[in-house]
A and B are shown apart, each in its own frame.
Chain A
Amino acid sequence: DIQMTQSPSSLSAFVGDRVTITCQASQDISNSLSWYQEKPGKAPKLLIFDASNLEPGVPSRFSGSGSGTDFTFTISSLQSEDIATYYCQQGDGLPYTFGQGTKLEIK
């Protein structure tokens, strides 16, 4: 199975800050990497697919980059509504696997 290592596990930042989360795959997954936002009591929501493509309707302050084994997710200017847990997920091979999550809080 492909292991996804996400860091940090938690993050606290000010509104307006630039926030970065990283995700490392245990083997080359090309660009088959998605990022999800999960808020309490809600299903995860797709934000980024194919490492860097923004899902329609998702604000442009969210972005993703990387390929192979190393990936980055960025919020360019943190907003209060971005408080959530974020997960990376590889879709290169079965079983599809998720990172451990990053819980984002406002300072």
Chain B
Amino acid sequence: EVQLVESGGGLMQPGGSLRLSCMASGLTVTNNHMSWVRQAPGKGPEWVSVIHSDGITHYADSVKGRFTISRDNSKNTLYLQMRTLRAEDTAIYYCARSPRGIFDFWGQGTRVTVSS
């Protein structure tokens, strides 16, 4: 059974940094395309970033240059390093497996709030 468990969210001030983690079981992170998707309060989901199985990464324009997606093979864990946080980054952040752009398995999400 596939399980994705996110952690690392919290309350941050604008300009701060945060690293989200997504621990996987039932799948190997390095063998899959893995994405981060966020959902701001009252809004629909927004794709944030993907790391392909070959290690190539892509980002939404809204986070490019501020967020970095990575993975740790030994821990079977996906990460999202978030820097220069803004109020508009406030959202629940989900990790999801995303083969061919299809989000077939999701974690339960971790909440990030950016506020002074």
Given A43-B107, A95-B61: A32 and B45 interface contact (C-beta under 8 Å): no
Interface contact A92-B101, CB-CB below 8 Å:
yes
Interface contact A95-B102, CB-CB below 8 Å:
no
Interface size on B, residues (CB 8 A): 21
Q: Which of A34, A98, A99 contacts B102 (CB 8 A)?
A: A34
Residue pairs across A and B with CB atoms within 8 Å: the count is: 58
CA distance A43 to B92 in the complex (A): 9
Sampled A-B contacts (23; CB under 8 Å): A32-B101, A34-B101, A36-B45, A43-B106, A43-B108, A43-B109, A44-B103, A44-B106, A46-B104, A49-B102, A87-B44, A89-B45, A89-B101, A91-B98, A91-B101, A95-B47, A95-B60, A96-B35, A96-B101, A97-B47, A98-B46, A99-B44, A101-B44
Residues of B within 8 A of A (CB): 35, 44-47, 50, 58, 60-61, 94, 96, 98, 100-104, 106-109
